[in-house]
Structure 1
Amino acid sequence: MASSLLAGERLVRALGPGGELESEQLPRKLREQLEAALRKKTTGGSGTLDSRRVVSFRLIRDLHKHLRERDSTLYLHELLEGSEIYLPEVVKPPRNPELVARLEKIKIQLANEEYKRITRNVTCQDSRYVGTLSDLGKQVRTVKSLVITIFNFIVTVAAAFVCTYLGSQYIFTEMASRVLAALIVASVVGLAELYVMVRVMEGELGEP
């Protein structure tokens, strides 16, 4: 929070010998404090001396009060022409080394946990062992299961067709009607088998 201002040349000249404030009969203590503030040099954030002159708001209020009590024709805003609010540079305190080390340790721990979470579904097999006997055996079992499933599908549809064709002789006398009935039943059985096959394959692919 600002509590001072940088005195402009107008205020400096007014306090100097023969200045405008010389005729205002400033109290000795107030004049000494103002002159001391204008002579004092501030220290910058880099540790170097700053030639700018800093005057506290308290001294400016005292000066304003004195001018009002004397009904002076010299106004404060005229004296502060060229002056600026002084905002000192905030010096950040050094960070605690123990706290910095602890934060770095926490960052590393969180990074490791995130890495484990991302790679938990990745196998640890080396790329050099891709295509080994275990992988070949797994592929063979998959192909074998697929061949058996297709063979069962064909046998089931064919059996449904034959059974319906032979059984329909007691209902239909014409060859075309018996074939049509057999095709309809075989199609229904085939669709049911396809539905079951799709659901089984979806279940196998959904396994981790």
Structure 2
Amino acid sequence: MASAFVIGNKFRHKVKELLEKADSSLPQRLREELEESLEKPEPTTLSFSTARNFKKYLQDEGHPFYLHELLEDSSLHLPEVVKPPRNPVLVARLERIKAKLANEEYNRITRNVNTSAINRHGAIADIGLQVRSAKAVVVTVFNFLITVVAAFFCSYMGSQYLFTDTAARVLSAVIAASVVGLAELYVLVRTMEGELGEP
């Protein structure tokens, strides 16, 4: 927290003029504080209490300048914050906790890895599983296409009793095929979710 000003040349010059005047009515204590502040090495600081006393003196004596005018080229002196040293026991404990958390995270990530089932070339059972999976996907896609095409032709042929115009028959067939396709996709997604073990 700031408790002093770093005084600038304007303040230094004006205070030196006041101190050099023989007829100056500066109180002795204020004079000593100002002289002490000017004698300090750079950066020269002026405490807030001395600044308040000096402001009161300027007001009482009726000087034609104010303290804020003198402090225009000054700044606040902010002392450097000194961080206390860290407790070595606490640091060691934090390191143990970090290591424990990292180990738990590693175990969580690798809990489903089975090192005995992994080999360089894979197993024959893995190839059979992949073939069965690919076969199931091909059958599912083929079934989907057949169902949508059948729904289209069924709607097209059945709509001849409702519409005489070919465009209206095609449009109704497309709508029916779209509805059937969306229903098939919904069932397919729900089935795949069940196979993957998701709710």
Report the TM-score range of the alignment, normalised by the length of the smaller protein: 0.5 to 0.7
Change (3 A) 1:28 1:121: same
- Number of the residue aligned with 1:74: 65
- Number of the residue aligned with 2:35: 35
- Number of the residue aligned with 2:103: 112
CA contact (8 A) 1:5 1:86 kept: yes
| 1:40-93 deviation digits (Å, cap 9, x = unpaired) | 23xxxxxxxxx2101111100000111111222232123223111111221222
CA distance in 2, matches of 1:3, 1:116: 54
Partner SS state of residue 122, structure 1: coil
Change (3 A) 1:74 1:203: closer
**Number of positions where the alignment pairs a residue of Structure 1 with one of Structure 2:** 140
Partner SS state of residue 55, structure 1: strand
CA distance in 2, matches of 1:113, 1:84: 52
- Number of the residue aligned with 1:2: 2
State whether structure 2 residue 56 is matched by structure 1 residue 65: yes
Larger Rg: 1
Change (3 A) 1:121 1:86: same
Q: Shift of residue 131 of structure 1?
A: 4.8
Amino acid at match of 2:32: E
Partner SS state of residue 64, structure 1: helix
Amino acid at match of 1:25: S
Q: Shift of residue 203 of structure 1?
A: 7.1
| 1:131-189 deviation digits (Å, cap 9, x = unpaired) | 56xx759x69xx8xxxxxxxxxxxxxxxxxxxxxxxxxxxxxxxxxxxxxxxxxxxxxx
Amino acid at match of 2:2: A
Amino acid at match of 1:119: T
Partner SS state of residue 83, structure 2: coil
State TM-score, norm by structure 2: 0.57
CA contact (8 A) 1:4 1:85 kept: yes
Partner SS state of residue 76, structure 2: strand
CA contact (8 A) 1:3 1:57 kept: yes
Any gaps of 5 or more consecutive residues in structure 1?
42-50, 144-198
State TM-score, norm by structure 1: 0.55
Change (3 A) 1:204 1:9: closer
Bigger Cα displacement from structure 2, 72-81 vs 54-63 = 72-81
CA contact (8 A) 1:24 1:67 kept: no
Change (3 A) 1:131 1:73: closer
Q: Shift of residue 122 of structure 1?
A: 1.4
| 1:104-139 deviation digits (Å, cap 9, x = unpaired) | 11111111111111111111326447656xx759x6
Among 63, 68, 79, the residue aligned to 1:88: 79
